[in-house]
Amino acid sequence: MNYVIGIDSSTTATKAQLVDESGDVAAVASSEYSYETPQPLWSEQEPELWWNAATASVSAVLAESGVPGSAVKAIGLTGQMHGLVLLDDRGEVLRPSILWNDQRTAAECDEMRQRIGRQRLIRITGNDALTGFTAPKILWVRNNEPEVFRRVAHVLLPKDYVRYRLTDQYAVDRAGGAGTILFDLARRTWSQEILAGLDLDPAFFPPTFEGHETTGLVTANAAEATGLAPGTPVVAGAGDQGANGVAVGAIDPGVVGLSLGTSGVVFTATSRPAVEPEGRLHAFCHGVPDRWHFMGVMLSAAGSFRWFRDALAPGEDFGTLATAAGTVAAGSDGLLFLPYLTGERTPHPDPLARGGFVGLTVRHKRDHLTRAVLEGVAFGLRDSFELIRNAGSADLAEVRVSGGGTRSPEWRQILADVLDAEVRTVATAEGAAQGAALLAAVGAGWFADAATASAEWLRLDSPTTPGPDSAVYEKLYSDYSALYPALKDTMHSLSASAGP
């Protein structure tokens, strides 16, 4: 039996998933680490943590399964997107990585809009300048740490640092590269216009590859550290959301990948480099050739349910709460919940947006509040669906859901009714790592392309179809959509009065 490994370097752990030729997972291992917040709004991590965790996790899956390193035919990489890794001309790390959730770069986002022009930036890269992206982080280092910036020779993303340690090669996949917002979205490579407009040296940025293409071979040193065989191919892979999209089969237009974790992500492929005119959707290259994707992100999806449980029903089981909420009629007896507990990104890129219950009366009990939370998250996810439809992707026929929130049949039914679409649960716990492994399998020659591999490997549960409550939710969604514009000024005022 031959195998591939998907390595997922996330914000809190690096996972390795060993997968055989039939798509069955032979072993999974995870090695955890932390990140630092040296100042308010800052989020940093030492790149060495990713490498140490990658070697530990790969060694663990080989040991657990008894599979020799020589049986692993390719490695695929994925991980947290948008982080900044700076190396000098000897390949040494110059400073801790600035992560995707770092918020220090508001001034640099304004600088990008001023230098390039907001609409021109969106037209070329598919995105407005947001603090999470890589490009404003580079400008921040130049503006605030000039002694570090003078020594920069290479700019990498987190998973690409793991690639460098595995292969001694500098490379980036095109899905991850697009997430820097330094890419020409249509041309699927670095934008010379954007780099020139920001006065960034093109030599900083590595060659780009499609997700299944080989970027280097495991070196003797890396083989000794991991247990892999020297010369094992390492394919480009994709950022975590692109890899998850591959894993759930959101490769051709019409299939939507919906991840219902702490945050919520709506992901759908496009056959052309389409852009939402105001940049309210992320538009990136897909992890497969000749495909792009739209992505909407809400910041507190299942995180809203966790907040509710911890604040108002401590110790209760999530499933028990959701089952009780299922006894309440759709619409929660006139109660709506805004899920902006940590600000919002899509469709309102507003860090000062705030959550709330609207419509409370003495009739409402805890079960009403629970259902309102589940419905409010579903409405927030529908916002992304509406933007995607309006941007030209009208045929969203099937929604494939993953993440902890999808365990609840009540919540799955609410999602199907609010989205008015068939919902199917994907039977994989590690979507990003599975997607990276799948791209490795294509790179190893097991499949002609990622779509064929996904069709072969994907396991889907029975569908949840829209029911009669869809009509109820259609009216309520209009009411929900009116709340943010009506309350925005109040939200900002309350945020200011609350202090830092």
User: Nearest 10 degrees: CA dihedral of 75, 208, 285, 450?
Assistant: -30
| pLDDT score for 398 | 83
**Tokens 């009065």 map to which residue?**
497
Q: What is the pLDDT of residue 474?
A: 96
Q: Which value, to the nearest 10 degrees, does the dihedral of the CA atoms of residues 398, 403, 407, 413 take?
A: -30
> 340 near 298, Cβ under 8 Å?
no
Question: Which residue among the candidates 8, 102, 173, 240 is catalytic per the annotation?
Answer: 240
d(CA 182, CA 134): 8
Residue 166 confidence (pLDDT): 98
Q: Which residue ranges does the chain devote to CATH 3.30.420.40? A: 3-242, 249-425+468-500
Fold (topology level) of 249-425+468-500: Nucleotidyltransferase; domain 5 (3.30.420)
Report the number of secondary-structure helices (H) and strands (E) in the chain.
17, 22
pLDDT (tens digit, 0 to 9) for every residue of the chain, 500 residues total?
Answer: 999 999 999 988 999 999 999 999 999 999 999 999 999 889 999 999 999 999 999 999 999 999 999 999 999 999 999 999 999 999 999 999 999 988 899 999 999 999 999 999 999 999 999 988 999 999 999 999 999 999 999 999 999 999 999 999 999 999 999 999 999 999 999 999 999 999 999 999 999 999 999 999 999 999 999 999 999 999 999 999 999 999 999 998 888 999 888 889 999 999 999 898 888 999 999 999 999 999 999 989 999 999 999 999 999 999 999 999 999 999 999 999 999 998 898 999 888 899 999 999 999 999 999 999 999 999 999 999 999 988 876 677 789 988 778 889 999 999 999 999 999 988 766 689 999 999 999 999 999 999 999 999 998 888 999 999 999 999 999 999 999 999 999 999 998 887 65
Active-site annotation holds for 469: no
CATH architecture of 3-242: 2-Layer Sandwich (3.30)
Measured distance CA(185)–CA(412) in Å, rounded: 34
User: What Cα–Cα distance (Å) separates residue 429 from each residue in 69, 247, 376, 499?
Assistant: 24, 11, 25, 39
Task: Look at residue 294 in the predicted model and tell me its pLDDT.
Answer: 94
